[in-house]
Amino acid sequence: LADDIALTVNYSHLYRVVERVVTGTPAKLLETVAERIAAAVLAECRGGEVRVRVRKLAPPIKGATVGTAGVEVVRRGISQPAVPD
């Protein structure tokens, strides 16, 4: 593992990508939000893998009182071709 900032994720940019999704077109399902976030992140990263967890606080579930409800999706982007040496 290299301790090189150039090899890491730009979290400010990632935040803006996610923010665009969650403030954009409304969705009824947490699954939809998670899939949209995953697709947007993969489009920006052009490959790789993304794991998205979305939770809703105090969801309106009939007959139950729960603190949170959530989903998790893992998606892989299209692999980039190998760069010749």
Query: Which residues participate in catalysis according to the annotation?
Result: 56
Q: Provide the 8-state DSSP code for 28.
A: S
When computed from its CA atoms, the radius of gyration of the chain, rounded to whole angstroms, is: 16
Half-sphere exposure of 14 (CA within 13 A, CB side): 11
CA 56 to centroid of chain Cα atoms: 15
23 DSSP assignment = T
CA distance 54 to 73: 9
